[in-house]
Amino acid sequence: MRIATTLRILTVLLIAWPAAARALDPSAQRGETIARTNCARCHAIGRVGASPLADAPPFRELHRRYPVTDLAEALAEGITTGHPTMPEFRLDPDQAQALISYLQTLER
């Protein structure tokens, strides 16, 4: 009886562990919300899936092009480049850092 209970507990813990490991810190959570609100119309913002707009790179691949921390200034001043149909938008410094925090979670 005890072995069966122990096995059930271990099974639950092993199932829950990956979800806990993926939990985002508050800054990255804000960044994910910013990405979902402002970017998901064109970009794949998660770990899987294609971008809705073919010219818009998935966020999980941005770190392969350049360090995502290099985006801080551009996000705060207003990004005017990117894919051809990307609108210009500007984030305040805290929002820019939150978005970068989220992008960094996609590098793992």
Residue 30 lies in a domain: yes
Q: How many domains does one find in the chain?
A: 1
Structural domain contains residue 18: no
Query: Is 7 among the domain residues?
Result: no
Q: Is residue 9 part of a domain?
A: no
The model's pTM: 0.74
32 inside domain:
yes
What's the pLDDT tens digit per position in 46-100? 999 999 999 899 999 999 998 999 988 888 888 766 666 777 778 999 999 999 9
Contact 27, 101 (CB under 8 A): yes
Domain that holds residue 77: 25-105
Q: Does residue 96 lie in a domain region?
A: yes
> pLDDT tens, 25-41?
999 999 999 999 999 99
User: Is 64 contained in some domain?
Assistant: yes
Closest CA to 72 of 105, 45, 95, 42: 95
Domain containing 94 — which CATH number? 1.10.760.10
> In Å, what is the CA distance from 101 to each residue of 5, 22, 30, 47, 65?
40, 13, 9, 15, 17
Is 37 inside a domain boundary? yes
- State which amino acid sits at residue 40: A
